[in-house]
Chains A and B, each alone.
Chain A
Amino acid sequence: ETGVTQSPTHLIKTRGQQVTLRCSSQSGHNTVSWYQQALGQGPQFIFQYYREEENGRGNFPPRFSGLQFPNYSSELNVNALELDDSALYLCASSSTSRPYYNEQFFGPGTRLTVL
Chain B
Amino acid sequence: SQQGEEDPQALSIQEGENATMNCSYKTSINNLQWYRQNSGRGLVHLILIRSNEREKHSGRLRVTLDTSKKSSSLLITASRAADTASYFCATDGNRDDKIIFGKGTRLHILP
Contact = CB atoms under 8 A, between A and B. Distances in A.
Interface in B34-66: 35, 40-45, 48
Nearest to B43: A106
B101 A42 contact: yes
Given A100-B92, A103-B33, A58 B98 contact: yes
Contacts of A39: 40
A100 B42 contact: no
B33 to A, nearest CB: 7
Contacts of A105: 45
Interface in A5-57: 33, 35, 37, 39-45, 48, 55-56
Interface in B64-108: 88, 90-92, 96-104
Contacts, number: 69
Secondary structure dominating the interface of B: strand
Size category of the B interface is: 20 to 34
Interface string A53-95: 0011010000000000000000000000000000010101000
Interface residues of A, number: 32
B42 A99 contact: no
B31 to A, nearest CB: 5
B27 interface: no
A56 B103 contact: no
B31 A100 contact: yes
